[in-house]
Amino acid sequence: MSNFGWAYVDCAEAGATVAGPTGSVQFLTGASATSGSAHLMFYTASTGEHLPHTLVLSGNLTVTGAISASAIHYQDVTHIDATGSTFFGDTYDDLHVRTGSLNVYSTRQPSGNPAGSPFIVLSSSAHSHQTFVRGFGGGYRNVTSSHYTASTENYVLGIATPFTGGTAPVRVTIPTASLFGSGAILVVKDEVAVRGGSSIILTRSITDTNTIDGDAYYTLTGTMPAISLYSNGTNWFVF
């Protein structure tokens, strides 16, 4: 027996008993006796749907330690019970795809929720094509410059650029709607109570042809105005 985790079995050794189908992984069945099972096979060549050098277990497997693999393929998963944090992916361009509906639950009950009742934080239905959340918060950007260009990571733009006198406007460039995609929403809010004779102008990029409610720009005036925009993938619209 080796100390490196493997053993050499001499099938011709006197008194040794070796049994099981060809290709079966051997296990000890008694003194000087091993056997194999068709439920645990190692294929050195292609056999049916199995590639060469494949270990096949037909049955259940219990692992008390860790499993390390370059790839794991799951089929017909009915239950996964894990403790602690789980991480998927290691680069920003990883894509994780699932088919079917998704529910996210919380074990911390909110105020007014009956003890022991299900508490769904997020529910996304593949049947109705609807997503419901318990509470929602979008990306917020505090704008303090005289000119800011929105990006796809923005949801709420809080224009806090201070009024310094004069009538020079604060300009917010809204990139092409095709960059944001159909259904994207952008909210712009003036957070300065007194802006004098100045204003906030939403404008498209110089090289863009998309519009905001049919115009190349949109002006926010008055006391702390706000505007909500949505994209249809081609142009922006106020709602």
The torsion angles phi and psi of 178, rounded to 5 degrees, stand at -65, -30
Whether the pTM exceeds 0.85: the reply is no
Average pLDDT over residues 175-202: 95
Cα-trace Rg, the chain: 32
Q: What is the mean pLDDT of the chain?
A: 89
Spatial distance between the Cα atoms of 211 and 208, rounded to a whole number of angstroms: 9
* Beta bridge partner(s), residue 210: none
All structural domains of the chain with their residue ranges = 102-133, 140-238
> 56 vs 113, which has greater pLDDT?
56
Query: Which tokens hold the place of 199?
Result: 């204003």
Integer Cα distance of 2 and 27 in angstroms: 16
Q: What's CA 139's distance to the chain center, in Å?
A: 17
Residue 77 has a pLDDT of 83
CA dist 29 → 11, 51, 55, 194 (Å): 15, 29, 21, 88
Q: pLDDT higher for 16 or 70?
A: 70
For residue range 108-161, what is the model confidence (pLDDT) as tens digits? 777 766 666 678 899 999 999 999 998 899 999 999 999 999 999 999 999 999
Could you give the count of Cα atoms lying within 13 Å of 5 in the half-sphere of its Cβ? 0
Q: Out of 2.60.120, 1.10.3470, 2.60.40, 2.40.30, select the CATH number for domain 140-238.
A: 2.60.120
Q: Which of 201, 178, 179, 177 has the alpha carbon at shortest distance from 188? A: 201
Plot region of 142 (φ>0 → left; ψ -120 to 50 → alpha; else → beta): beta
Asked if 233 contacts 201 with a C-beta cutoff of 8 angstroms, the reply is no
Rounded (5°) CA angle 227-135-130: 85
Amino acid residing at 172: V
Nearest CA to 35 out of 60, 18, 59, 13 is that of 18
